[in-house]
Structure 1
Amino acid sequence: MENFEKIFNQFLDCVQTLQAALNVSFTEALVETFDNLEQGKIKVENGAPDEKTVAQLSKKYQTLDYDQISQKNKVQVFTFLTLKAINDDSQDANQMPTPPAISTVVAMLMHKLLKDEQMEVVDPAVGTGNLLFSIVSQLKALNHSKDNYQLVGIDNDEEMLNLADVAAHLNNIDIDLYCQDALMPWMCPNPEAIVSDLPIGYYPVDENAKNYENRAEKGHSFAHLLLIEQIIRNLQPNGYAFLVVPKAILSGKIGAEFMPWLTKKVYLKAIVELPDDMFKNKFNQKSILVFQNHGDHATSSEVLLTKLDSLKKEEALIRFNVKLDEWYTKITH
């Protein structure tokens, strides 16, 4: 741990030195630092960084000895620095990386429901790529290292996509990244699976919201509801969606309108309520929503409805796995 702390502080020093020299955001300096280290040379554009800084950085990079650091440590350092970037640059709360425990639960659901074959997986709100990369790494491990996934990430924030690009490279993951509003027509083919931790809030482009059934009667519409509608439009027949959504859309006043609409459009498969202790207050609570698009192989079945115990205890995942197995056996026999 002491060694990791030392490496982390060395990386942090490199990023902050470059940030000061270029007068850019922490995010930009972080992306450029890893680019420099991966390429083995310091990028200089229009005389910046200046010669003095280039000499300083060269010395710091030499001390760091980047090529000797394990891939696991590089990924870990980059993940912590990404969190710092989002905090320092006052990014939106929606851009915070998804906690690893949630990725594990989604990976367990995907492993059960998806066929063991090549498929395209899209995250239409990919952010830093944390959720998608963590899930795919776990699925590969469960699948004897077989990589069956062609990945696509969509986001309207170029800085987040730059972070996702570096993270993909560090994790040895191939992904096509598109910078666009995910509520506009997608530039990628229709996928067999969609995974996303949906951004929560209002969608500012009222003119485009008019193209959606779940638009608000007046004022801005909820981006997360429109995005679920867009996901259904883009999902292949029989395809699956695994979404981290606000718990509020599944019950109460919003749920009373939204859920009947949703159950007409798709087959609900699972609603897994995440533990209360993962969220600061009850308004922020989330659930994992799984559904299958209509198609010739898709059928309605009993829905897995469960609430997870605190994921701080390891047995919570074991208990969930038992429930998942029982449910899956019931719906497939």
Structure 2
Amino acid sequence: MNMATIETAFGLVLTNVQLLETHLVTHFYDALIEQNVGYLGRAELDAVRGNNEKLRALSLTKSDWQKVYQFALIKGAKDMQLQPNHQLTPDAIGYIINFMIETLHPKTALSILELGSGTGNLAETLLTGLLDKEIDYTGFELDDLMIDLSASIADVMGTNAKFLQIDAVRPQVIEPVDFLISDLPVGYYPDDAVASRSKVASATEHTYAHHLLMAQGFKYLKDGGYAVFIAPSDLLSSAQSDLLKKWLLDYARVAAVVTLPADIVTENNQKAIFILQKASQTKAPFVFPLTSLTNPEIVQNFMAQFRKNML
């Protein structure tokens, strides 16, 4: 990976996006979608076509493109002031999830379902990071813009990611998967009639959407399979947690809880990675406070402890 090449590519993409924003009188992410379409076809503006020719001449790898898009998505999130549930999952967390998947699923082929795939950044981090695995990835996302954005990025990168416009709380007919992942969108689910069908439904108020996604997503998981959820660290002690814990006793084993550093989240909302297994409760979960994602000694100690306790 050549950072100078990546910086050059990002500059060309950013210039085109800004040209398209002005030309189309639109916002950053919509212009990025148009840039992706123009890169794969023929852009309308001469300047955009010229920059795309320079981009093609760089011969970017999938990993290069993943970095370019990460920078572009971060820039777009700042420009558009996106709500927290639409913010991209940081690459540092994606790399930790890569490690978890590699440790827990040594087989070469695996299927992954992501609930609330958003910009697709986590998907592409997995697909460009798990190089020794044949991955069948599907992302469920309800938002029109996010679906168009993530699909257009996958087209340019040439990954096999599939993104479907689906309300993941509602039942779907799909083949069971090896891994379920989600950077859970936090908040209340508005449709009480749909929520009432779930084991985690509240009888007194709107039900938490992240609880509903966990319970519904587990139905798509193979027996013995793992779910990796990024959620508020107080998931098991917050409001409606009694309903969630009752569901856990019946359907899932809490295999691990890894709290994440406070400096990688916003709005004073500390998060953790919860690993659940579709299996009966057999042993105490592995609990680890991961205080840094940039200190090699801390990360290596975490990895060693994770392998020791999870295998």
Does structure 2 retain, via aligned residues, the 8 Å contact 1:178–1:187? no
Number of aligned pairs?
308
Q: Which amino acid aligns with 1:318?
A: Q
Matched with 1:111 is 102
Measured in 1, the distance between the counterparts of 2:174 and 2:28 equals 30
CA pair 183-17 structure 1, distance change in 2 beyond 3 A: same
Paired-residue identity, %: 25
For residues 1-333 of structure 1, the aligned pairs below 5 Å read 4-39=6-41, 41-42=42-43, 54-62=45-53, 64-71=54-61, 72-140=63-131, 145=132, 147-252=133-238, 254-280=240-266, 282=268, 284-294=269-279, 300-329=282-311
Measured in 2, the distance between the counterparts of 1:212 and 1:236 equals 19
1:266-298 Cα offsets, whole Å, 9 max, x none, are 12211111122323454x11111111113xxx7
Q: Which amino acid aligns with 1:100?
A: D
* Unpaired segments ≥5 residues, structure 1: 43-48
Structure 1 residue 57, shift from structure 2 partner: 3.0
CA pair 16-235 structure 1, distance change in 2 beyond 3 A: same
Measured in 2, the distance between the counterparts of 1:307 and 1:129 equals 27
Q: Which amino acid aligns with 1:310?
A: S
CA pair 212-162 structure 1, distance change in 2 beyond 3 A: same
1:180-200 Cα offsets, whole Å, 9 max, x none, are 111112253221211111111
Does structure 2 retain, via aligned residues, the 8 Å contact 1:75–1:170? no
1:200-224 Cα offsets, whole Å, 9 max, x none, are 1111122211111222223322100
Does structure 1 retain, via aligned residues, the 8 Å contact 2:154–2:161? yes
CA pair 14-267 structure 1, distance change in 2 beyond 3 A: same
Measured in 2, the distance between the counterparts of 1:257 and 1:138 equals 36
Q: Which amino acid aligns with 2:58?
A: Q
Structure 1 residue 174, shift from structure 2 partner: 0.3
Bigger radius of gyration, 1 or 2? 1
Does structure 1 retain, via aligned residues, the 8 Å contact 2:12–2:55? no
Q: CA RMSD in A?
A: 2.3
TM-score (norm 2): 0.89
